[in-house]
């Protein structure tokens, strides 16, 4: 059985990685607004993802005001893809769902 990445298994970090995978490079303010988290909570989780090389940090001062921008790295994309695959292996999404209806035995449909 595939192991779930413990770093991405924390819900906010999963959301961060997934959001960055789709959004590309995003400012701290945009991340905070989209994920609806506090500065401290976001900063704490970003630091863990940065330390693991899942997220890249870049300072942008092109607007006259320095903003910190974050993007998912190649390592982060590979980790997220692996995490999703591990979840898919745990959840048998390809097999039919068990029926919740009791099976009828020995009855035939009658045509009208």
- Collect all residues with Cβ–Cβ distance below 8 Å to 87 and sequence separation of at least 6: 4
pLDDT in tens, 52-111: 999 999 998 887 888 999 999 999 999 999 999 998 888 876 666 656 655 555 555 555
What class has domain 11-90? mainly alpha
Check residue 99 and give its pLDDT.
60
Say how far apart CA 8 and CA 48 lie, in whole Å: 10
Domain ranges of the chain: 11-90
pTM across the whole model = 0.76
pLDDT in tens, 6-16: 999 999 999 99
Helix extents (H) in the chain: 11-23, 28-35, 39-51, 74-90
Say how far apart CA 70 and CA 27 lie, in whole Å: 6
Give yes or no for a contact between 85 and 79, defined as CB atoms under 8 angstroms apart: no
Say how far apart CA 8 and CA 43 lie, in whole Å: 15
Beta-carbon neighbour count of residue 100 at 10 Å? Answer: 5
Give yes or no for a contact between 72 and 50, defined as CB atoms under 8 angstroms apart: no
């Amino acid at each position: 059985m595939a192991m779930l990445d413990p770093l991405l298994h924390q819900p906010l970090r999963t959301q961060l990685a997934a959001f960055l995978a789709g959004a590309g490079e995003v400012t701290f303010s945009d991340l905070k607004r989209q994920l609806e988290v506090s500065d401290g909570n976001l900063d704490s989780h970003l630091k863990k993802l940065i330390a693991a090389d899942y997220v890249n940090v870049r300072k942008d001062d092109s607007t006259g005001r320095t903003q910190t921008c974050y993007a998912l790295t190649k390592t982060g994309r590979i980790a997220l893809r692996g995490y999703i695959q591990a979840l898919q292996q745990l959840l048998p999404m390809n097999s039919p769902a068990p029926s919740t209806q009791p099976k009828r035995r020995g009855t035939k449909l009658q045509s009208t």
